[in-house]
Chain A
Amino acid sequence: MSEAGFSGRRLMAMVGKETRQIARDPSTYLIAFVLPVLLLFLFGYAINLDSARANIGVALLDDSAPAHSLALAYGQSPHFAVRVERSVEPLRQAMIADEIRAIVVIPQDFGAGEARGAPPPVQIIADGSQPNQASLTAAYAEGLRRNWAMNRAAEAGPTPAAPISVNSRVWFNPGLTSRYFLIPGAIAIVMTLIGTLLTSLVIAREWERGTMEAMMATPMRMTEFLASKIVPYFVLALISMGICTTMAVVQFGVPLRGSIPALLLVSTAYLLPALGQGLWISAATKNQFVASQLALITSFLPTFLLSGFLYEISSMPRPIQIITMIVPARYLIPSLQTVFLAGDVWSLILPNVAIMAAFGAFFLYRCLRATRRSLDR
């Protein structure tokens, strides 16, 4: 047994074999080229937190001129598609059937109250079954009402400005486009998919097909075996990273303010734990079905839920916040968002890169331990 020494020649032969194996499988092209494009397309268009036109109902309980004027203001707003009724009940039915998101109730004595200078409050009923939409729609509906009231007051005479106002500026993303920060997150999901989900099957497949034993009978060292599994998938992941970045910039108009080397550094640092985790799962389970489910649960799901991609980590309960610390994607997503939107902020990128590399080293070490030359485990 030539257990001593890591042979570059053997490694190259194995990488060649793995690469041929991957290249022969037509699904590889699907994964490397079609999948990133498809996923990014989907994430880019399907996830949008910027509220568009909402369907609402206006219950017009008053027949006065101001009440009609307010109802008309809702009808003319580009933010709302309005259905006007004379009572609340038909709108309640519509809300139950999920046809409208909110009901604006203009009360009976609205016109009379307005004439006295003390209009009764307008009621805004939001559909709480979709909490985020409910608060956004209610805020838009109230904003429209306030504007309408201000315009009417302005017609009557000059009005002073609010005593204290807030003047907001948004850095890096002045248009508040949610797509700009969601697309870098979607890239992280694509990399997780290629890095962890695909590799979770590769060693398990060798075990299931019995080729692992053949592998063990060769003079190859386990480090070489692992390296031969990592290199082709690493290259594959970087290719899809390139495709994703191009698409983000060209198709979705996401600015790329940082440098390409920074992007490469961040991606490479993330691929270490991603590939390591996939291979560890694969080596430890030796069963493709179990490995795929485990990879889904431990990588894709946390990347989607616990990485800050869509949901704010600070809003989660404390125990879950602690769990997010062992999700490698949690360190990738802010780095990617920063490289795309803010630039090369090394004081943010480098600590994250170091943490990801440490996770990578740990996973690869575990993986090496799990692939010891032994048949009876």
Chain B
Amino acid sequence: MGISWTRLRAVIVKEFAALWADPRARTTLFIPPLLQLLLFSFAATLEVRNVEIGLLDRAAGAASTELVQRIAASGNFAQIHRFESPIQMRQAIDRQEVLAAIVIEQDFDRKVARGEPASVGLVLDGRRSNAGQIVGGYIGAIAGGMGAELEPERSRAGGSSVVVNWFNPNLSFIWFNLPALIVVIVSISALAITGQVVAREREMGTFEQLMVSPLRVPEILIGKMAPTFIVGMGNGVLYLVAAQVVFGLPFTGSLLPFFLALAAYNISLTGVGMAISAASKTQQQAFLGAFLMTNPVLLLSGFSSPIENMPGWLQVLTYANPARWFLQISLGSFLKNMPASVVFSLTWPMLVIAVVTLGSAAWLFRARME
């Protein structure tokens, strides 16, 4: 009952043809990845720029005017709306016209002039508390800087620190997004496209024809997975090239370990896609199953938010997620010149996962055929 290479080749060719036959299905293989490349790389930023803030200046003296000018000149804010009353301020925050409002009390100038500690009020919108915190940081730094110029000797005591960012000196989000996108795109092609292949045959009634053909189960399985595996690798390469050519992101690591890791990642998820496909009766179910898997795979990878912020039990769960390992490899290979030994030590968990997912896919598939 061995695998026949002639039969295997025939079934791979047939599956490729099936994937390629519908021109619209063909475009869905490549257009969405390109769209995602553009959207993700530019839109997915946790930076806070160009926000609108408000100002309730009850002092309107020299010091408060100076502070407001410094804030306006910092370039972090698109516009500063001036309010006449607390009610106006309340309404603007309620309606989300401003993310934050600065409140300068009447005695601000007097205190600054006398050299007493003065404070500025800042109201933040807790519906966007992450952005609010960052705005609070900007304004705190500006106020601190102005204070340091007013009272240099008082501020110098206590030393200082210098912050350096390795691997991405300007903390550019695109540098993080592009390597992370390879993780996203391969997971989508491996799960969503593989998820459909068996379910479609079953819905169209051609699955029975496959069963009566002389093909063996492993041959059908490999034949079904080969095209999406290759599409996934192709999209991965496309992104790898685009990151360097279009976005100028250097790839500092070595290519061979990276590609081996990419293949391991791709296979482990293709196995999941296949298992979903074999378990589903209709395309809607398969689509849903694939979608249901894509979410944990991406959310538990460290892409949208870091793994160390998750509760402990969820962190343990991420070990079973191939995307967690490959995200580290991709970021490391692009930005950190990650040595091959480290890449391999992060690759073997994916190989273990691949054995499990392929095994369960084969088992489910066989159960369906009988």
Interfacial residues, chain A to chain B (CB-CB below 8 A):
25, 27, 30-31, 35, 38-39, 42-43, 45-55, 95-98, 101, 114, 117, 119-135, 138-139, 141-142, 145-146, 149-150, 153, 159-174, 176-178, 180-181, 193, 197-198, 201, 205, 208, 285, 287-290, 292-294, 296-297, 300-302, 305-306, 308, 310-312, 314-317, 320, 334, 337-338, 341-342, 345, 347-348
Contacts and interface: CB of A to CB of B under 8 A. Distances in A.
B165 A301 contact: no
Interface in B141-166: 143-144, 146-148, 150-151, 154-155, 157-166
B250 interface: no
Nearest to B311: A45
Contact of B24 (A96, A164, A285): A285
Most A CB atoms within 10 A — which of B127, B314, B332? B127
B81 interface: no
Contacts of B112: 163-164
A114 B160 CA distance: 11
A128 B291 contact: no
A132 B288 CA distance: 32
B32 to A, nearest CB: 5
B65 interface: no
A132 B46 contact: yes
B28 interface: yes
B44 A289 contact: no
Contact of B47 (A25, A47, A312, A338): A312
B131 interface: yes
A290 B27 CA distance: 9
A170 B126 contact: yes
A176 B50 contact: no
Given A114-B159, A312-B48, A168 B124 contact: yes
A193 B291 contact: yes
Central interface residue in A42, A114, A120, by most chain B CB within 10 Å: A42
B127 A311 contact: no
Contact of A160 (B24, B154, B164, B291): B154
Given A128-B169, A312-B45, A348-B94, 17 more contacts: A49-B46, A96-B338, A126-B163, A126-B164, A129-B179, A129-B331, A130-B176, A138-B165, A163-B148, A169-B122, A171-B93, A205-B284, A290-B25, A296-B188, A297-B35, A316-B42, A345-B94
B4 interface: no
Contact of A305 (B44, B50, B296): B44
A130 B48 contact: no
B172 A163 contact: no
Nearest to A119: B159
Nearest to B196: A289
Interface of B: 22, 24-25, 28, 32, 35-36, 39-40, 42-52, 67, 78, 91, 93-96, 112, 115, 117-133, 136-137, 139-140, 143-144, 146-148, 150-151, 154-155, 157-173, 175-176, 179, 188, 192, 196, 200, 203, 282-285, 287-288, 291-292, 295-296, 299-300, 302, 304-306, 308-311, 314, 328, 331-332, 335-339, 342, 345
20 contacts: A27-B284, A35-B288, A48-B309, A49-B46, A96-B336, A125-B166, A139-B137, A142-B161, A165-B120, A167-B122, A168-B122, A169-B124, A172-B127, A178-B129, A180-B126, A181-B130, A289-B283, A293-B32, A310-B46, A311-B44
A288 B67 CA distance: 59
B310 to A, nearest CB: 6
Contact of B309 (A52, A97, A314): A52
Contacts of A52: 308-309
Given A42-B295, A129-B336, A296-B192, A172 B147 contact: no
B204 to A, nearest CB: 8
B308 A31 contact: no
A334 B96 contact: yes
A92 B296 CA distance: 31
